[in-house]
Structure 1
């Protein structure tokens, strides 16, 4: 399985960013790490290995970028408005320095986004904010309400990065064309969060697959079962 490491200075974030890319060809999948995770986490925890067959067959290429959660939602040393603003810049980074570049190189209009745990939030938030650029969204044990990270503060950056708030108000036509998977375990700490998002999607008649796995907890073993299953639906 081909693996490449990239490091560059991000003009959007004004900091160095690292990314691993797996595979030599195929449909692009941006895979976000969990809370405070970096570009190597999904490799080191075996999530990339779980989809080796798809990568080696040239069916997909997997892009694993750094997160900046330690500078945004999880940074208790700055004002909540700045936490939200920093994440808004991360959203710009994903669009301008990843998605646009990947789509240009591959001659595509859309990508797939995926992630476990907080990476599931990252994937869902980017997909629902930019449905015109996302064909598939695979959330594995994600949570979709970030108000607990902002200590009661609320502004446009909070609203537009909080899917349970803005999604009910969105009527972007590409939402109804996206292939959406909400994967969660029966004993998952994010079970209620997935049921809540599922209801929002159902109320809007947006097609999606709600995949609740029996006897499963919020951890890597179930994500390593989910991810190859979801990629098989590409």
Structure 2
């Protein structure tokens, strides 16, 4: 399985962002790490190995992106307004720099996004904010409400970064093309978050698959089983 390390310079962030890219060709999946995770986390925790066959066969090319959580949602040394503004810059980097680069490199109109835990939030938030750029969303044990990070602060930037707030007011036709998977389990600490997100999508008439597994915990063994199954069924 080909592996390539890239330092992508972002003009919006004013710095390099590290990525690991797996595969020579295939449909692109932008994979976000968990809370405060780094670009090599998915490799270290076995998530990339779980889809080795799909990557080596040329079905998928996976872009493992670095997070900016330490400078945004988890940056307790910053005031809440600065935290969310840093996330907005990260979102602009993704939307206006990285995703167009991936679409061009892979010759596709839309990409897939995926992530586990807080990476599930990042993948869902990006897909729901920018549906014209995303065809496939795979969230595993994601949570979709960031208000707990804001210490009571709330503005338009928080609203548009919080899927449980803005999705009830979205127009459902914008998501008709998207295949959406919300994966969770009976013992998952994010089970209720996924049920709530599913209820919102159902109310809007947005087609999706809420997959609730048996008695498994919010951890890598669960996600390493989910990911290859979801990618196999996705396309």
TM (normalized to structure 1)? 0.98
Measured in 1, the distance between the counterparts of 2:105 and 2:37 equals: 27
Say whether residues 1:202 and 2:202 are aligned partners.
Answer: yes
Measured in 1, the distance between the counterparts of 2:105 and 2:53 equals: 23
Which shows bigger deviation, 167-176 or 29-38?
A: 167-176
Which shows bigger deviation, 172-181 or 143-152?
A: 172-181
Say whether residues 1:124 and 2:124 are aligned partners.
Answer: yes
Instruction: Map 1:165-176 to 2 at 5 A.
Output: 165-171=165-171, 173-176=173-176
- Contact 2:115–2:140 (8 Å) recurs in 1: yes
Flag structure 1 segments of 5+ consecutive residues without an equivalent: none
- Contact 1:131–1:172 (8 Å) recurs in 2: no
1:180-212 CA-partner distances (Å, limit 9, x unpaired): 000001100001100100100010110000000
Say whether residues 1:45 and 2:45 are aligned partners.
Answer: yes
Q: Give the match for residue 96 of structure 1.
A: 96
- Contact 2:172–2:204 (8 Å) recurs in 1: no
Flag structure 2 segments of 5+ consecutive residues without an equivalent: none
Task: Tell me the CA shift for residue 228 of structure 1.
Answer: 0.3
Task: Tell me the CA shift for residue 215 of structure 1.
Answer: 0.9
Q: Hey, which bits of structure 1, 4+ residues long, moved more than 6 A? A: none
Q: Give the match for residue 158 of structure 2.
A: 158
3-state SS of the aligned residue for 2:187?
coil
TM (normalized to structure 2)? 0.98
Task: Tell me the CA shift for residue 8 of structure 1.
Answer: 3.4
CA-atom RMSD in angstroms: 0.9
3-state SS of the aligned residue for 2:228?
helix
1:136-174 CA-partner distances (Å, limit 9, x unpaired): 000000000000000010011100000000001011523
Measured in 2, the distance between the counterparts of 1:32 and 1:8 equals: 15
